Amino acid sequence: MQYELPPLPYAYDALEPFIDAKTMEIHHSKHHATYVTKLNEALAQAPKEIADKPLEWLLGHLNEVPEGIRTAVRNHGGGHWNHSFFWQIMCPHHQSGVPQNDLKIALESTFQSVQSFMEEFNKKALGLFGSGWVWLTVTNNSKLITENGGQGDRKLEIITTANQDSPISQGLRPILGLDVWEHAYYLKHQNRRADYIEAWWNVVNWEEVEKRYRDALVI
C-alpha cells in the first residue's frame, strides 16, 4: 500500500493571521511529505500481509510490525496519521464556531466548563517538554463494554504524546489534537509557544471535532 500526501482542505493562507501561510506550506509540503516518503520506504521492506494493513491497524498493533521497521512505522506512520488528522480539525476562523450539542455537554460534564477544558488543554500543551502533541481523546477500553454487550460510558481525557506517537497506539480515539513541535509555529511565533496555542483556538473546526466525537461513541 503506497501512502500519499493528502491535500489540505483549504489554501495555505486560509488560517491567517493565526497560522501563517509559509508555516503551513512548509509544514505540509515538507514535514508531512517526508513522513509519507519514509513510511512508504519502510513498508516496502515489510511482508505483503503487513504492508497491506491499514495505517490505523499498524499503529494499533506495533508489536506485530517486524522489528526492523517498527520504529520507522511508529515515527513516520504516526507522523502521517497525526498530520492528516491535524489538517482536518482546523478551518478558517470564520468557520470555526464553538463547541455545541453533545460535545459541549460532554466537555462541561468532564471539565466543568468549555473554558476550563481549554485552560487544562493549554496547561498540558505548555508543559509538554520537547516535541510532541496534545490530544483530547475518547477512552476505549474494556470498561466501555457492559456485560450485556452494550456500550458503556465514554470518557473524555486530555493526554500528551511524545514525538509522533499516536493515541491510536494506546487504544484511544482522538477527536482534537495540537501539534506542538516547533516547526508548527516557529516562523511566526519563534519560541512563544503560548502565543501559538492561543492563536490556534481561533481555527479549530468545532463541527469536525463534534463529528469525530459522535463517531467515537459508536466504535
Mean pLDDT of the chain: 92
In a domain, 6, yes or no: no
Does 57 lie in the same domain as 152?
no
What integer pLDDT is reported at residue 139 of this predicted model?
86
Give me the residues paired with residue 177 across strands: 135
Q: What length does the chain have?
A: 219
Does 120 lie in the same domain as 197?
yes
Does 122 lie in the same domain as 51?
no
Picking from 35, 63, 88, the residue at the C-terminal end of a domain is: 88
In a domain, 10, yes or no: no
What integer pLDDT is reported at residue 154 of this predicted model?
72
In a domain, 2, yes or no: no
pLDDT digits (tens, 9 = 90+) for 70-117: 999 999 999 999 999 999 999 999 999 999 999 999 999 999 999 999
**Amino acid in the structure at residue 106:** A
- The dihedral built from the CA positions of residue 5, 56, 83 and 130, taken in this order, carries a sign that is negative
How many domains, the chain? 2
Give the Cα-Cα-Cα angle 164, 25, 98 (nearest 5 degrees).
Answer: 75
Could you give the CA distance from residue 58 to residue 65 in angstroms, rounded to a whole number?
7
In a domain, 148, yes or no: yes
Does 213 lie in the same domain as 110?
yes
Does 97 lie in the same domain as 84?
no
What integer pLDDT is reported at residue 140 of this predicted model?
62
Picking from 73, 88, 103, the residue at the C-terminal end of a domain is: 88
What integer pLDDT is reported at residue 142 of this predicted model?
40
Using the predicted structure, report yes or no on whether residue 32 has a pLDDT greater than 80: yes
Does 149 lie in the same domain as 62?
no
pLDDT digits (tens, 9 = 90+) for 112-138: 999 999 999 999 999 999 999 999 999
Percentage of the residues of the chain whose pLDDT score is greater than 70: 93
In a domain, 11, yes or no: no
Does 113 lie in the same domain as 83?
no
Does 195 lie in the same domain as 111?
yes
Return the exposure string of 53-81: e unless at least 16 CB atoms fall within 10 Å of the residue's CB, then b.
Answer: bebeebbbebeebeeebbebbbbbbbbbb
What integer pLDDT is reported at residue 218 of this predicted model?
82
